Amino acid sequence: MLLPVQPYDPNADLVVSTPERVAFQYPVAGPGSRFLAQLIDQLILTVILVAVVIVVFVLGAATNDRDLTLLLVGLASFVIVFFYFLIAEAMFGGQTPGKRALRLRVVGDQGQPITFSQALIRNLVRVVDFLPVYYGVGLITLFINGRGKRLGDLAAGTVVVREQGAVNLRDLAYAVPPPTVTPAASSIWGQPVVPSSPGSTPATPAPAPEPSLQLEPDLKRFVIAYASRRAGLDAQRRATLAKSIEPALRKVLPAVVEAQGPLAALEQLATAEAGPGGQAIQVRQQHPDATPSLTFGIISLATFGCSPVGILFGILALIWGNHALRDVGREPERWDVGPARTGRVLGTIGLALGVLVTLGFFAWIGQHRS
């Protein structure tokens, strides 16, 4: 007997569906808890940096080379700050000591463990997030996209979540059969018994329920992926996908494949894997123009001091962002709005700052000419 999928909560911040038909919900960490975690990490870093500075100055006093001492202090500070976050997140499951203290964790967009490349990208972009002072850009971005992501998270495909506490018995879902007649099922997992009303001719009982279909792991992953994306696939693409796994479908539903074809069998399996209401948990995709828009927006904001470059990349961020958001408006259930919207906002800010720098430059020239 199959256990039902945990009910889908539309208010959950991050929902991950596994091949075993279990949905995990991760609350996205808010700005307050992330700030406290950052504060703890900053205290730890301060202690480490003070110790390193003392050691460097002691060594510098022995060499009487002030410039070398200052160079070593700056280099050591950068290495410690950068590699502290990178090593902690990459090697300790997405947790720095501050995040661990507050039960926060960095994970991939689909709830998977963070990879080294994701940790590296996330911490490289931290430099831009820190501008102009103590994560000002990162905080603005976090509120703009509405998904608890700073620029580093958007670039690396990560999100900071809050870990759940211990699981109680009341949190587990059980399949409790009702005391009356089993209601009709709309899936392939079993055949219901047709009830008979009082005073009427007893209905012919349905055949005994067949055992649950045991799908091979590869087929199960394929069906789940198809169920979550079939809304965006045309008929020809669906038929091609079904044809590519016809041998596996024949092993599971030979009668359906023989009578109606492989696509009907695949659709039946996908419907069985769908969540409540017959809808599979949809995984919104990132629009192809969202990444360029976000990249151009970051460059525009980072280079606004060189106004021609900042203005150019700000305009590019707006063009790509507007194109992506237009498609998001047409198909909101398919595309993720966060990166494109963030890229457009950053491009707007970078463009505005670039224009202000240009106006200030021309005003300065006019003053000196007069």
Q: Where are the domains of the chain?
A: 1-165, 217-276, 286-370
CA distance 13 to 298: 25
Residue 365 CB coordination number (10 Å): 10
Q: Among 60-69, 120-129, 185-194, whose mean pLDDT is lowest? A: 185-194
Mean of pLDDT over the chain: 74
pLDDT at 294: 82
- pLDDT confidence of 274, banded at 50, 70, 90? low
pLDDT at 67: 81
Q: Among 65-69, 191-195, 306-310, 351-355, whose mean pLDDT is lowest? A: 191-195
User: Is residue 44's pLDDT more than 90?
Assistant: yes
User: Is residue 217's pLDDT more than 80?
Assistant: no
Q: What is the DSSP track for 27-92?
A: PBPPHHHHHHHHHHHHHHHHHHHHHHHHHHHHHHHHHT-HHHHHHHHHHHHHHHHHHHHHHHHHHT
pLDDT at 251: 86
Q: Output b/e per residue, 269-285; b: 16+ Cβ within 10 A.
A: bbbbbbbeeeebbbebe
What average pLDDT score do residues 244-251 get?
Answer: 88
Q: What is the pLDDT of residues 302-332, one digit of tens each?
A: 787 787 888 888 888 888 888 888 887 777 7
Q: What percent of the chain has pLDDT over 70?
A: 74
What average pLDDT score do residues 204-220 get?
Answer: 56
Distances, alpha carbon 138 to alpha carbons 91, 141, 366, in Å: 24, 5, 36
What average pLDDT score do residues 142-155 get?
Answer: 80
CA distance 315 to 310: 9
Q: What is the DSSP track for 190-231?
A: --PPPP--TTSPPPPPPPPPPPPP---HHHHHHHHHHHHHGG
| E-strand stretches of 109-189 | 158-162
Q: Among 9-18, 150-159, 347-356, whose mean pLDDT is lowest? A: 9-18
Tallying the residues shown for the chain, one arrives at 370
User: Is residue 206's pLDDT more than 80?
Assistant: no
CA distance 211 to 1: 8
Task: Report the DSSP beta bridge partners of residue 122.
Answer: none
Q: Among 74-88, 183-197, 244-258, 346-360, whose mean pLDDT is lowest? A: 183-197
User: Is residue 286's pLDDT more than 60?
Assistant: yes
Residue for token pair 């695949």: 266
Could you tell me the two tokens for 329?
Answer: 């408006």
- pLDDT confidence of 104, banded at 50, 70, 90? very high
User: Is residue 97's pLDDT more than 90?
Assistant: yes
pLDDT at 85: 92
Could you tell me the two tokens for 340?
Answer: 């494109």
Better pLDDT: 280 or 98: 98
pLDDT at 14: 56
User: Is residue 19's pLDDT more than 80?
Assistant: no
